[in-house]
Amino acid sequence: MNTPAVLSDQIDAANPTAIIRVENLCKSYYLDGANGKSVELRVLIDINFSITSGEFVAIMGHSGSGKSTLMNVLGCLDSPSSGHYWLGQQDVATLSNDALASVRNRQIGFVFQGFNLLRRMTALDNVAAPLLYAGISRKAARQRAMSLLEQTGLDSFAMHHPNQLSGGQQQRVAISRALVNQPQLILADEPTGNLDTQTSHEIMLLFDRLNRESGITIMIVTHEDDIAACASRLIRLKDGRIIEDAATRHRQNHAMAARQ
């Protein structure tokens, strides 16, 4: 795919293995205001950053700062109003709906705060579902799903339905599902938001391991400092703009603490 002239050479040069490049990204919603006029609500304003393959990035901000919207745009669940978003070498804005579905299926694993499991299916079938959409046979899909549930320690719960699982277990099923098509990128929108502290640490350990051992790029939205401390880089949003983008120093320590 051709790189448009707007994209400065610096970004390319600085990040030869950039998995995500965002330039002047804006997102607005239009709400019905008084007198039938629509009011523009600017949720994301001129967002620029680039993420290298293998990074572990935390996105922080108060509620309403636009962090979830940013995640949805990065996860191809929502489209930007203006600006550019390159995922790998693809300009996401040029992709058709079907191509976006394929990107969500193969290149991105999304983890939600509310787990978003299909509640009438077993844990195993939930994890296997993305593989079915990728055209893999049910038998092969279930085998692969089972091996992922083993990795996340849930193999004995494979035939349970989501409502028979605890929050932490459900989130691990959701993470297994996100990983099942071997994406290079995991996007997690407050994955520990509905979990207690102990379970949150277990989930964060899982992300830490995936990042270190499998080299998967992870972006995580959180408003908890200790969760953000797991990351190697912190992007802070306020009122739709980036106000801080820096490496963190405490990652190692936190991971060690969590293991104990």
Partner 1 sequence: MNLLTITSEAVRALQANRLRTLLTMLGMIIGVAAVVLMLSIGQGAQTKINDAIASMGSNLLIVTPGATSAGGLRFGSGSIKTLTMQDAQAIAELSTVTASAPVVSGTAQLNYGANNWSTFLSGVTPDYFSISNWQIQAGEIFTESDLRAGARVTVLGAVSAKNLFGDEDPVGETIRIADRPFTVVGLLAAKGQALDGRDQDDRVLVPLTTAQRQILGNQFPGVVNFMLVQAASADSMEAAQQDITDLLRQRHRLFDGVENDFTVSNLTALASVASSAAKIMSWMLGAIASISLLVGGIGIMNIMLVSVTERTREIGIRMAIGANRRMILTQFLLEAMMICILGALIGILLGMGGAWLVSEIAGIQIVITLGMIILAVSFASIIGIFFGIYPARKASSLKPVEALHHE
How far apart, in whole angstroms, are the C-alpha atoms of residue 68 and residue 58?
12
Sign of the torsion angle spanned by Cα atoms 82, 11, 107, 220: negative
Query: Shortest CA distance to 128 belongs to which of 143, 115, 117, 108?
Result: 143
How far apart, in whole angstroms, are the C-alpha atoms of residue 71 and residue 16?
23
Residue 132 or 258 with smaller CB distance to partner 1: 132
Q: How far is the CB of 13 from partner 1 (least distance, A)?
A: 33
Residue 55 or 125 with smaller CB distance to partner 1: 125
Q: How far is the CB of 224 from partner 1 (least distance, A)?
A: 23
Residue 73 or 242 with smaller CB distance to partner 1: 73
Q: How far is the CB of 93 from partner 1 (least distance, A)?
A: 14
Residue 54 or 88 with smaller CB distance to partner 1: 88
Q: How far is the CB of 20 from partner 1 (least distance, A)?
A: 18
What number of H helices and E strands is found in the chain?
9, 10
Q: What is the 3-state secondary structure (H, E, C) of 201-230?
A: HHHHHHHHHHHHHHCCEEEEECCCHHHHCC
- Residues found near partner 1 in the complex (CB under 8 A): 72, 75-79, 97-98, 101-102, 104-106, 110, 112, 116-118, 120-121, 125, 129-130, 132-135, 137-138, 177, 181
